[in-house]
Amino acid sequence: QLQLVESGGGLVQPGESLTLSCAASGVTLDYYDIAWFRQAPGKEREAVSCINDRGSSKYDNSVKGRFTVSRDNAKNTVHLQMNNLKPEDTAVYYCAAALSLCDYSGPSISWGKGTLVTVSS
C-alpha cells in the first residue's frame, strides 16, 4: 500500500545546503512516523533523524544543528533540510515510514529507493 519516493539529491560543495523530500502515496502519513537513514560507500546504513506523528523530531549526533526534518501532512510529504554539508555526509539517503517508528522498531516498515547526495569540492 504505502509507497515512498525520495528526491532532491545531487552534487554539492562542502558548506552548501540541500533539501531532500520524501513523498508518500497509497496511504496518508498523518499518523506515521518518518525516519531518514543514509548509507555511505563502504559503510552500513545509519539512522539520521526521525519525526513522529506529532511533529517532534530527533537527530543523530553527527547531524545535530545542521539537519532539520519537517513534515507537510497536507502534501503527504516529509523534508530533510541539510545545511553546512560535509564530505562525510555523502551517502544514499532513504526515508522510512511506520507507526511509532521513532519510538519502536518493528517489521512493518516501508522504505523508499533512496536518493544520492554527494558532497565534494
Q: What is the pLDDT along the chain (121 residues), one digit of tens a residue?
A: 899 999 999 999 999 999 999 999 999 999 999 999 999 989 999 999 999 999 999 999 999 999 999 999 999 999 999 999 999 999 999 999 999 999 988 778 999 999 999 999 9
Res 1: pLDDT = 85
List phi, psi (to 5°) of 19. -120, 125
CB 100 within 8 A of CB 32: no
Residues 6 or more apart whose CB falls under 8 angstroms from that of 45 comprise 37, 38, 39, 94
Res 66: pLDDT = 98
End-to-end CA distance of the chain: 40
